Chains A and B, each alone.
Chain A
Amino acid sequence: MRKSKWWMASMSVVLTAGLLAGCGSNGDAKEGGASSPSGSSESSGNSGSSGSKTKLTLWGAVPAEAGPQAVIDAWNSENPDIEVEYLRYVNDDGGNLKLDTALMTGQDADLFISYSLTRLQKRVDAGVALDLSAKADYDIDAQMGPDAALWKIDGKYYGMPTKKNMSFIWLNKQMLDDAGLPVPPLDWTWDDLKAYAVKLKKDNVYGLLQHDSSYTATLDGTIAGLGDTNAEGKSNFNNELWKSHLQTLHDMMFVDKSTPEYGEQLTSKMPVDTMFLKGEAAMLSAGEFIFRNANNLAEFPHDFQIAFATVPRVTADQKDFKYPGGLGDALSVNAKSKNQDAAWKFAKWYADGGMLPMASGGRLPSSKSVSSDEAIKLLLQGVENMYDVDSLNKVVFGSFESFQLSIPQQVIDARKEEYEKYFLNKQDLDTTLANMAKRHEEFIK
């Protein structure tokens, strides 16, 4: 009895396997059958002689309604032979995994936008990003300016950085005026900011809030100047500037109480941008994406003007501090796409002005072919009076020496775990810095 059961079981496995194989080959045959006509239509699409359409898919992380839809609608009406579809992915681990899976398995992803150098690096390693520096008809260095070079990987462009990245301190001008404080100078330091925060805090009003994405702006800008490692290949994470900066933040949390305690901010998932626009904080450290909400007076009503300051450096004599900013939104062509020529055509159009509808959300094109006046006009349309023009021009439209973070995610996470322990008072500052350096070295070993 037992024997026959076993026999049956193994038989059924064999059977299923057989059926699977059948399925597989059947699927292949179907695919092969379908691919020949579609292949021919693609080639005709590329040559542009026949009337058949080429279809492209663009993957990006900006919600379609915040600009991308308007961008591709404009393209589709101008280019009836090449139809572009926009697919939004969320720029987190899950979303990037989805994009990488699509790229790897050759699903519809002809164009994609990467938002950090580390993510782009992975895609280059996977061989799915086309080398755009090989294209003779577009000079990325000349079009995008000197900051573009930070996006080079092994001396080549695998994505073209299409927008100006910006991160700065948003200031509630009304509160500054009430406290008799001027808009801070461009070269201010964290000590200055700390003093501002103390003077600006009130009941139910924080001196400073920091958005997650800007939390490490000063740490990153400092290490970008120092270099990740020193001449002997040892980690530079254990440096005096980081020590001073972390100490300042710790004091602001626990001594001055001018910024939320770390645990508090973490567990209540503070909506810092909304709080700032509601007048619950005098200063906000965040990127240009806040414009999307700040310009939306219907959903985020506020009556104060917003002024801007740079992300402060740690000390006044800090020489090689780099500002968070530079360029972003690296648009790449999938090296496995069958419609690379059409995709490249779209990419050039997008960078050289096609992306303008996204300017109203704060995404200013980096290409010199786009008139910056036009982009700024779009950005400030209808809300001209809501911003302090002087600091807007100096900070938002100013130019600063920038960087692109190329530290691997594992090291960024390890660093975060260590400074979290310090901010949660589980570990003293010296141990924190020593551990950051130790874990960094363990990774690069």
Chain B
Amino acid sequence: MKRHSWMRKQQWAGYAFILPNMVGILLFFIIPALFSFGLMFTNYQFANPNVSFTGLDNLKRMFQDDQFYRAIKHTGIFLLSVPVSLVLAFLVALVLNRSVYLKGLLRGMFFLPYISSGVAVAFVWMLLFQPSHGPINEALRWIGIASPPGWFADSDTAMYAIDIVQVWFMLGYNMIIYLAALQEVSAEQMEAATIDGAGKGTITWKIVWPLVSPTTFLLLVTGLIMTMKSFAIIQAITQGGPSGSTTILSLYVYKTAFSYYEMGYASTVSWFLFAVILVITIVQWIGQKRWVHY
């Protein structure tokens, strides 16, 4: 009995400690989120007091909106950057996990993009990808490609160019997490495999890769969620252009809400985005049994 009341007291203290944070989450996240759910069914224009309920009009509009479907396609291309970045990060981590010269320096260099400002990163890549005299295209011309791609200046390649930037941006973070996971892989297992005659490739893909699968799962889930929500790099480099070719779903929401002030419609699209993220995450959660080995 006595012990019970003591526990209770402690619990209250715990709740008191998390209270400030909870208030913040409630005020700035949960309440606005619920509010935006309500906005879905209105024609609310930002700052405009004339609001009326329009039922499912916004949903109807969304499913007839060419730009919405275009944004979904672009989001899909953008998401390709996640698995590519994961595999590359794994390989880099493997190399850096062995004894190579200047390990610390290299690790720092790979991680550097992650802590740099997005806008600075954007400007660097704009210079690199400059179509007529940027270093990348100069190099391509030098090795004999007469008409290299226009990268950000071409609506067919812009989204893939953005992918490259995103892969580079995420690489360092993913690599650090993989490095930590690789420390956990026991040397005995690898030694045993070597004695059994397994080659380097076999060890890497049949033993190490499965052993770090929980890390891969974590990075995949968080990476997909983050990538779907983020558009800072795109906004800094192309603002969704040229001719809308890099407008992903989250940027489309931003434009609809803060450029056109169509809050009702923007809420609808953002709840769709939320539903997609939720479904993808659930599918991954269920699917993990097949390939994640704890």
Contacts and interface: CB of A to CB of B under 8 A. Distances in A.
A97 B23 contact: no
Contact of B241 (A15, A127, A266, A269): A266
Given A19-B19, A125-B45, A266-B153, A93 B259 contact: yes
B124 interface: no
Q: Indicate the member of A23, A94, A101, A126 with the most B CB atoms within 10 Å.
A: A126
B29 interface: no
6 closest Cβ contacts across the A-B interface? A263-B153, A420-B243, A126-B47, A417-B243, A267-B153, A104-B47
Contacts of A421: 155, 243
Interface in A15-55: 15-17, 19-20, 23
A230 interface: no
A123 B261 CA distance: 11
A197 interface: no
Interface in B1-32: 11, 15, 19, 22-23, 26-27
A16 B23 contact: yes
Given A8-B11, A264-B153, A266-B242, A20 B47 contact: no
A426 interface: yes
B113 to A, nearest CB: 20
A76 B132 CA distance: 53
Contacts of A23: 23
Nearest to A418: B243
B48 A420 contact: no
A127 B23 contact: no
A12 B260 contact: no
B50 interface: yes
A20 B24 CA distance: 10
A409 B262 CA distance: 12
B23 A20 contact: yes
B126 interface: yes
Contacts of A267: 126, 129-131, 151-153
Given A15-B19, A264-B132, 18 more contacts: A17-B26, A19-B23, A93-B259, A97-B46, A100-B47, A122-B261, A125-B45, A125-B47, A125-B48, A126-B47, A267-B129, A267-B131, A409-B260, A410-B260, A413-B255, A417-B241, A420-B242, A426-B156
A424 interface: yes
B244 A417 contact: yes
A94 B23 CA distance: 27
A246 interface: no
Contact of B126 (A122, A268, A413): A268
A128 interface: yes
A359 interface: no
A161 B10 CA distance: 65
Q: Indicate the member of B11, B129, B130, B155 with the most A CB atoms within 10 Å.
A: B155
Interface of B: 11, 15, 19, 22-23, 26-27, 45-50, 126, 129-132, 150-156, 241-244, 255, 258-261
Contact of A12 (B22, B241, B244, B255): B22
A103 interface: yes
Given A93-B258, A122-B261, A267-B129, A424 B153 contact: yes
Q: Indicate the member of A268, A418, A421 with the most B CB atoms within 10 Å.
A: A268
Contacts of B255: 413
B33 to A, nearest CB: 15
A104 B45 CA distance: 12
A16 B242 contact: no
Contacts of B243: 416-418, 420-421, 424, 426
B235 to A, nearest CB: 10
Interface string A252-273: 0000000000111011110000
24 contacts: A12-B15, A16-B19, A16-B22, A16-B26, A19-B23, A20-B23, A20-B26, A93-B259, A94-B258, A100-B261, A104-B46, A122-B45, A122-B47, A125-B50, A128-B47, A266-B152, A266-B153, A266-B242, A269-B126, A413-B259, A420-B243, A421-B243, A424-B154, A424-B243
A17 B242 CA distance: 46
Given A15-B15, A264-B131, A421-B243, A122 B153 contact: no
Contacts of A94: 258
A127 B155 contact: no
B260 to A, nearest CB: 5
Nearest to B257: A97
Interface in A122-154: 122-123, 125-128
Contacts of A266: 152-153, 241-242
A127 B49 contact: yes
Q: Indicate the member of A23, A262, A267, A420 with the most B CB atoms within 10 Å.
A: A267
A269 B241 CA distance: 13
A432 to B, nearest CB: 10
A100 B50 contact: no
B47 A268 contact: no
A420 B245 CA distance: 11
Interface in A74-120: 93-94, 97, 100-101, 103-104
A259 to B, nearest CB: 14
Contacts of B260: 409-410
B50 A424 contact: no
A101 B261 CA distance: 11
Interface in A229-285: 262-264, 266-269
A391 B242 CA distance: 37
A12 B132 CA distance: 60
A268 B242 contact: no
B294 to A, nearest CB: 23
A264 B242 CA distance: 11
Contacts of B241: 266, 417, 420
A444 B71 CA distance: 22
A418 B66 CA distance: 14
B188 to A, nearest CB: 39
B70 to A, nearest CB: 10
B139 to A, nearest CB: 17
Nearest to B133: A268
B259 A20 contact: no
A280 to B, nearest CB: 14
B203 to A, nearest CB: 43
